[in-house]
């Protein structure tokens, strides 16, 4: 009886070779420019990392709006989880995040979410920024993230299944975040009801697709 051939038992990478990765080979064979993808992922990771940092400051200035602070905290911690979620994939694809955090911040693919009324260096004077001003910054930061991860999904769809899965999960949470801040800004600025469908997380930052959720399985 002839032994059935094993079509995937061997490929271009020789047995025992640790200088190459079949995972990269397969992504490239499906038409993805891996080096370009890695650069986009580093930029996206930088944006998630800096957004987490700036949201830390923004939420401090939402005193008196504790419901807003709680939702901001969800988005803040979920963005940190996104950074931790995508970083291992950068390394799997042969890349690396910058060794200098300043370079990572400079590479962030979205603008800095500065506290309104500051230039990123000085504390605001007087009463400080209004809730409307802060919610506007939060909303636009999320919109940039939606554009970023949509692009990465486009690049990897049907070609790089692992990166697409991670990017798609992050994108779903960023779309949620945009809806949250539309709801809050609509009410705070315009007195208009524009429901987001937001439900309280089990714990702050416990998004359905974040690293600290049961669905996290990259």
pLDDT in tens, 167-206: 999 999 999 999 999 999 999 999 988 888 777 677 666 7
pLDDT of residue 19: 57
Higher-confidence residue of 216 and 172: namely 172
Task: Convert the pLDDT of each residue in 96-130 to its tens digit.
Answer: 999 999 999 999 999 999 999 887 777 777 788 99
Q: Helix, strand or coil for residue 186?
A: helix
pLDDT for the residue 126: 73
Dist CA 118 CA 6 (whole Å): 63
H helix intervals, the chain: 22-29, 34-60, 66-92, 101-107, 131-156, 161-185
The residue to which tokens 């602070």 are assigned? 69
CA distance 142 to 118: 20
pLDDT at residue 196 in the model: 82
The pLDDT assigned to 218 comes to 41
**Residue 147 pLDDT level (bands cut at 50, 70, 90):** very high
The phi and psi torsions of 50 (rounded to 5 degrees) equal: -70, -35
pLDDT at 107: 96
Q: What is the pLDDT of residue 217?
A: 44
pLDDT per position as a tens digit, 7-57: 665 667 666 555 567 778 889 999 999 999 999 999 999 999 999 999 999
Domain 34-190 CATH superfamily: Ferritin, core subunit, four-helix bundle (1.20.1260.10)
Q: How many CB atoms are located within 10 Å of the residue 188 CB?
A: 17
Specify the pLDDT at position 117.
87
Secondary structure (3-state) at 172? helix
Whether the CB-CB separation of 137 and 128 falls below 8 Å is answered with no
| 46-73 burial: b if 16+ Cβ within 10 Å, else e | bbbbbbbbbbebbbebbeebeebbebbb
pTM above 0.85, yes or no: yes
Euclidean distance between CA atoms 89 and 82, whole angstroms: 11
pLDDT band of residue 87 (cuts 50, 70, 90) is very high
- What pLDDT score does 125 carry? 75
Encoded tokens for 173? 């949470």
What's the confidence (pLDDT) of residue 119? 72
Q: For residue 214, name the pLDDT band (cuts at 50, 70, 90).
A: very low
Given this model, what pLDDT does residue 204 score? 65
Q: Is 72 helix (H, G, I), strand (E, B) or coil?
A: helix
CA atoms within 13 A on the CB side of 192: 9
User: Do residues 15 and 84 lie in contact, with contact meaning Cβ atoms separated by under 8 Å?
Assistant: no
- Residue 68 binned pLDDT confidence (cut-offs 50, 70, 90): very high
């Amino acid at each position: 009886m002839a032994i059935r051939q094993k079509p995937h038992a061997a490929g271009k990478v020789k047995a025992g070779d640790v200088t190459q990765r079949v995972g990269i080979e397969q992504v490239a064979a499906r038409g993805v420019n891996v080096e370009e993808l890695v650069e986009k992922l580093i930029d996206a990771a930088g944006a998630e990392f800096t957004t987490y940092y700036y949201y830390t400051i923004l939420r401090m200035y939402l005193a008196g709006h504790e419901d807003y602070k709680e939702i901001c905290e969800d988005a803040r911690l979920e963005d940190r989880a996104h950074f931790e979620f995508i970083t291992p994939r950068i390394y799997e694809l042969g890349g690396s995040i910058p060794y200098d955090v300043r370079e990572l911040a400079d590479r962030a693919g979205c603008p800095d979410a500065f506290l309104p009324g500051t230039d990123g260096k000085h504390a605001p004077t007087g009463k400080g920024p209004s809730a409307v001003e802060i919610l506007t910054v939060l909303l636009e930061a999320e919109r940039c993230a939606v554009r970023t991860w949509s692009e990465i999904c486009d690049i990897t769809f049907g070609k790089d299944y692992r990166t697409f899965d991670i990017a798609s999960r992050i994108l779903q949470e960023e779309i949620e975040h945009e809806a949250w801040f539309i709801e809050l800004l609509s009410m705070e600025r315009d007195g208009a009801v524009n429901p987001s469908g937001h439900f309280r997380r089990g714990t702050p930052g416990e998004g359905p697709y974040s690293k600290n959720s049961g669905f996290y399985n990259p």
